[in-house]
Amino acid sequence: EVTLHTYLQVREDDISLYGFTEQETLNLFETLLTVSGVGPKLAVRIVNAMPSDLFCRAILQNELAVLTRIPGIGKKTAQRLVLELKDKLAAQADSLSSAVDAAPLAEGGVQSQVVAALTSLGYRAEEAAGALRAAAKQAPELLESESN
């Protein structure tokens, strides 16, 4: 049995249906659509690029370098995402798993490198994040940054 969470967009010349396996991903997609200049195609690109908890952490910690690594997001779009989403995501942080971990998500950080490596190998962003969380539970010292 599979549950699919959907978003239906109706415009005068088009009807589009977007499906997500996780409610959290759908919620992030809908939140992204509230940002000026972000349409469904870019929102899908964003939710597919990284797990929602890492994206939320990047927004909350103003990590523009992490955001600009997502295809289709330049510096100005990243700044607009942070400006328009920071308050909204802070209010939703309780419902997002580990959205505000104490460890910063710096560019080139171990966590973002692990997720990037797994997604480049063909894993979905959600699977990569799940593997990262499982690894962190079993051996948290592996995910500590080199600066510690």
Residue 7 lies in a domain: no
Name which of 76-90, 94-108, 122-136 the model is least confident about: 94-108
DSSP 61-85: TT-HHHHTTSTT--HHHHHHHHHHH
Residue 42 lies in a domain: yes
- Give SS3 for 7: strand
User: With pLDDT > 90 as the criterion, what percentage of the chain qualifies?
Assistant: 41
CATH number of the domain that residue 29 is part of: 1.10.150.20
Q: What is the dihedral of CA 22, 119, 134, 137, to 10 degrees?
A: -120
Residue 12 lies in a domain: no
DSSP code, position 141: G
Q: What confidence tier does 101 reach under pLDDT thresholds 50, 70, 90?
A: very low
Residue 6 lies in a domain: no
Say yes or no to pLDDT of 105 above 50.
Answer: no
Residues 5-23 have pLDDT tens digits of 999 999 999 999 999 988 8
Residue 2 lies in a domain: no
Residue 58 lies in a domain: yes
The pair phi, psi for residue 129, each rounded to 5°, is -65, -40
What global pTM score does this model have? 0.63
Residue 40 lies in a domain: yes
pLDDT computed for residue 104 by the predictor: 45
Find the mean pLDDT for residues 63-86. 93
The first and second tokens of residue 71, run together, are 């295809």
Q: What confidence tier does 76 reach under pLDDT thresholds 50, 70, 90?
A: very high
pLDDT computed for residue 51 by the predictor: 85
| Number of separate domains in the chain | 1
Residues 31-74 have pLDDT tens digits of 999 999 999 999 999 999 988 888 988 999 999 999 999 999 99
Q: Name the residue range of residue 73's domain.
A: 24-143
Residue 34 lies in a domain: yes
